[in-house]
Amino acid sequence: MAGRRREGLQHIDAEVGRRIRKARLDRGMSQGELGQYLNVSFQQIQKYENGFNSVSLCRLPGLCKALELSAGDLVDDIDSPSKPLKRKVKIR
């Protein structure tokens, strides 16, 4: 089941990674510099940019700050293969 879920999310990770890479390059920043800012290795930045790893929610604010983006800049207009919820979910 987890493999099937992961397959459905790969295109999202790839598109977010493409947007991260573009923003980083637009700012003249190396993978190492971005990694230092986020306290991760440049290899982790490579994995984000290549869509191999998802950006965790706890890293998202720092990433957005470093790249001068909003979270929406990274995820807006990405089509999700997920089916819409049939019922409303209440958040308490």
**Whether residue 91 has pLDDT greater than 80:** no
Q: How far apart are CA 17 and CA 61, in angstroms?
A: 15
Q: Who has greater pLDDT, 85 or 59?
A: 59
pLDDT band with cut points at 50, 70 and 90 for residue 4: very low
Identify the pLDDT of residue 79: 75
pLDDT band with cut points at 50, 70 and 90 for residue 1: very low
What CATH homologous superfamily does 2-75 map to? Answer: lambda repressor-like DNA-binding domains (1.10.260.40)
Q: Could you report the per-residue pLDDT of 11-38, keeping only the tens digit for each?
A: 899 999 999 999 999 999 999 999 999 9
| The model's pTM | 0.78
**Whether residue 84 has pLDDT greater than 60:** no
